[in-house]
Chain A
Amino acid sequence: MAGKTLLILASANDETARRLATLWKGDGARLVLPRDLSRPGWKYQPGQVESSVAAVDGELIPARQISGVLTRLGNIAENELIEIASGDREYVAREMSAFLLAWLSALTCPMLNRPGSICLSGPNWRPEQWAHAASQAAIPVVPSRRRVPYENEPSPASRYEPPVTVTVVGKKCFGPKDKFLHDGARRIARRANVELLAVNFVGSGKDARFLSADLWPNISAPDIADAVKEHLVGRARRGS
């Protein structure tokens, strides 16, 4: 897409993000790191996101030029802000996170994922909330248990079942070819209002039970990475 930029918002330590930025260079991919928020040029007026500007690696990118955003951060971590005086890092990190939350929420381009109200990549749910959402979506659930203090009680004797993971990217699912798992994963993603999600189950078919979910799935596999790019850039091309 001529002149369009695909933003990948990630930690400086995120090797997958770096690799994808290189792989997708032809689609205008640019890495946005936390330190970029300490560069002159960012501008956002609530209610006027179309005139906002991002400052990425020294270049000013107007919002209308952004084709899509892949967010691989929940918030800005203070330990990424090494250029900021140590006593100010916590405050600056919170200000940057609050700014990004507002700006990303207002952008209308395709995004994985759209921010929640506190997390840049969707709802920052606790395990209890994921289990509850799955249950509300009529999916059988492995009970989420939290005990404080954790007591080292012997677990009831049971056969260990390794989890199976289904990764949702928009309408597509990756993982075992299991209609029930795919359907369940999509329903949980819809409940969470996200389009990129790894959902872990135990069991298969009608006996499958929800175990957990992850807003930052492993997207390094070529087919999943391609689906992510298609979701972001392909939709922008089609104007959706």
Chain B
Amino acid sequence: MILFWGLPGDSPLTAVADILARRRVKTAFLDQHDSLEWSVELSVSDSISGYLRNGSQSLDFAEIKAAYFRPYDTRDLPGVPSEGPGQAHALGLGEALLGWADITPAKVVNRPSAMTPNNSKPYQSMQIRALGFAVPETLVTTDPEAARKFWEKHGTVIYKSVSSVRSIVSKLSSKQAARLENVKWCPTQFQEHIAGTDYRVHVVGDKVFPSVIESQADDYRYACRNGGEAKIKAARLSREVEERCRRLAAGVNLPVAGIDLRLTPKGEWYCFEVNPSPGFTYYQDATGQPIAEAIAQYLV
């Protein structure tokens, strides 16, 4: 049986679940909205055992051969109380599932411990560099003068969050020069701007699905906000770069990964991030690449 955990409106999750349902593969979907209706018991000693139950289903952990988890923060879910036994129940269910996901011999997309490096971008950048990709020169600082010198050195610099809190990647402009004093309050991440063409490469096991993005925006994910656009097309990579992407995903223990690359005019490949829970349907819809199918095959 294959277990899905998240929200029914989550398109990557439902895309894969739908494929498996059509193939009559035995699956179960644990809807986070229904967290309070589920009970769990998880016991770990020299074996892992237990069950998940609601009014109509009982799922034995031993029967789960694969899992695809894309949970949202339980505390943000409507229907989950903000405190008290209800919240404790929902959070406890989540903890049980995440704890199981890290130790089970079943296939998991993706194991929680493999996803956590993404919570610190400079930390992950060192993993990326060690696994064969160039990374932009980066400064994290609370020193306004160091930030100015870095800016002078590189001419064009972008700033973005250090953690996994979603931020819009933006170029530093003269309007912000006076605000550089504010970095004293919080370590702030600056990176040399790498000019080039954006690629998003989805890796599923040993399958590689590259796409190229055409956009004038600093951060193509938010191009529409400023009246711009982002066109995504299927792309081809050299075997060498494909292999580097496979090695990177495997090296960070992510059987499913969304790798953000940029190709410079001189032909250098830079990697900005390895997304451990990629929203691949955005790219699949644009390119027709069978990413959901690949994940479904991986899980079976």
Contacts and interface: CB of A to CB of B under 8 A. Distances in A.
B119 A128 contact: no
Contacts of A44: 122, 139-141
Q: Is the interface of A mostly helix, strand, loop or mixed?
A: mixed
Interface string B30-68: 000000000111111110100000000000000000000
A117 to B, nearest CB: 4
Interface string B223-250: 0000000000000000000000000000
B137 A98 contact: no
Interface residues of A, number: 50
Interface stretch (A63-71, A129-137, A213-221): A129-137
A175 interface: no
Given A46-B138, A99-B120, A101-B123, A135 B187 contact: no
Contacts of A83: 185
Interface in B141-159: 141-144, 146
Contact of A135 (B44, B121, B135, B163): B44
Contact of A148 (B39, B129, B138, B139): B39
Contact of B184 (A39, A46, A101, A140): A39
B102 A129 contact: yes
Contact of A144 (B44, B93, B141): B44
B218 interface: no
Given A42-B187, A96-B187, A105 B126 contact: yes
Interface in A88-107: 91-92, 94-99, 101-103, 105-106
A98 B142 contact: no
Interface string B175-195: 000000001111110000000
B168 to A, nearest CB: 14
A79 interface: no
Nearest to A75: B119
A239 to B, nearest CB: 24
Contact of B135 (A46, A96, A148, A149): A46
A163 interface: no
B103 A145 contact: no
Interface residues of B, number: 52
Given A97-B120, A98-B120, 5 more contacts: A43-B141, A97-B163, A98-B164, A144-B45, A149-B85
27 contacts: A37-B142, A37-B187, A38-B142, A42-B187, A46-B125, A84-B186, A94-B163, A96-B186, A98-B120, A98-B123, A98-B164, A99-B122, A99-B140, A106-B126, A117-B117, A128-B96, A128-B102, A129-B103, A135-B44, A135-B46, A142-B45, A143-B43, A144-B43, A146-B96, A147-B39, A148-B39, A149-B39
Interface of A: 37-47, 53, 55, 83-84, 91-92, 94-99, 101-103, 105-106, 116-118, 123, 126-129, 131-132, 135, 140-150
5 tightest Cβ-Cβ pairs between the two chains A and B: A98-B163, A102-B122, A148-B92, A128-B99, A98-B120
Interface of B: 39-46, 48, 85, 89, 92-93, 95-96, 98-100, 102-103, 113, 116-117, 119-123, 125-126, 129, 135, 137-144, 146, 161-165, 183-188
